[in-house]
Structure 1
Amino acid sequence: FAERLTAAYGAEKARAILAAHRHEAPVDFTVKADPALWAERLGGIVLPTGTVRVERLSANVIDLPGFADGAWWVQDTAASLPARLFGDISGKRVADLCAAPGGKTAQLILAGADVTAVDTSKNRLARLKQNLDRLGLTADLVQTDLLDYRPAELFDAVLLDAPCSSTGTVRRHPDVPWTKTMADVEKLA
């Protein structure tokens, strides 16, 4: 992993990236309403995107206030940006492709869209449904390979956050340098 970083970015930047990976990542929450209230309750801050960021959790996520009530979900602030880029989608038909675990799906629903969430994995789609149920949200769920998907009518917008190499998530998933290979990355190209 270090060798690939050095080849891609040079020795100095590679060292800086590796040093950053040694620090625990903050946890970001997308809230359904009132980010300031949830920042106070969770002991965090409100980022300019409206995301609530907590540097260190005081408990397991499921034990935090608001989890069981569906007031928020864990979603990295960077992952929340694509859904925000659509602007006003109220009343629009939107497809969320490769949708699990459902953070962007939830964002689109809260923005007023009629959402169809598509994923190839039965297990991941079940997780998405559990997440939406906890949040009190609904979407049309479709399990299919995208290459075979033929919706009855066109969508007004499509969000595709395709699977990736996970190399940008090392702080949250420190196993990635050992579990992902260049072959994994090349399969996605």
Structure 2
Amino acid sequence: MKNGCLGLIKRQNGRTVSAVESEVKLQGIIVKMAIHNKGDTPIIATVDDQGQLLVRRFDGNFQSILRKKCHRKVSQLTFSPNGNYLAVFMKNQILLYNINRSEYYRHNEGIPLHLSYDSSEATSFSPNWEKIYVPNKDGVQIFDQSHFFSATQFEKKVTENQALFRNESQQLWPLQFIKLVENILKMHQK
């Protein structure tokens, strides 16, 4: 393997059977990594010490799917159980990327889930990704996120929370919510 590249090595009975390396040279040292290894093609997400997020699919060769600069320190990377989403945990922010929409992730800014809680390394999702457990100074907050992964549930949630659009005393929050709604609708588009 060349220095500064990501590689996969297949071993059987203590011997190297095959080795493949990424064409993309890494900018820095990998500090966080997540692998989704269900199905035929493993997906590998890495963040280096320069804040460069790279997501690659391996189908005999490395295929770059997503490349983003993270402007905050990444504390954790996690794939959804089906491998369609990647959660990037940073202080006070969790960004969610739909990695299966090639036409979308080129300009994908992620979907901020929660901005006001400490999403430290202890933050995690339930096994089905419907709940997020976020530590804070009073204990653990549990958030229901099931509406992010189903267009029907999302539309229902928006309908239930229409009052947020009419709340004139908090002018900034509705604008953030509208942007969030637009991003989630893009994520669900076919």
TM normalised by structure 1 equals: 0.26
Structure having the larger proportion of residues in helix? 1
Whichever structure has more strand as a proportion of its residues is 2
Greater RCO, CA 8 A, separation 6+ = 1
TM-score normalised per structure 2: 0.26
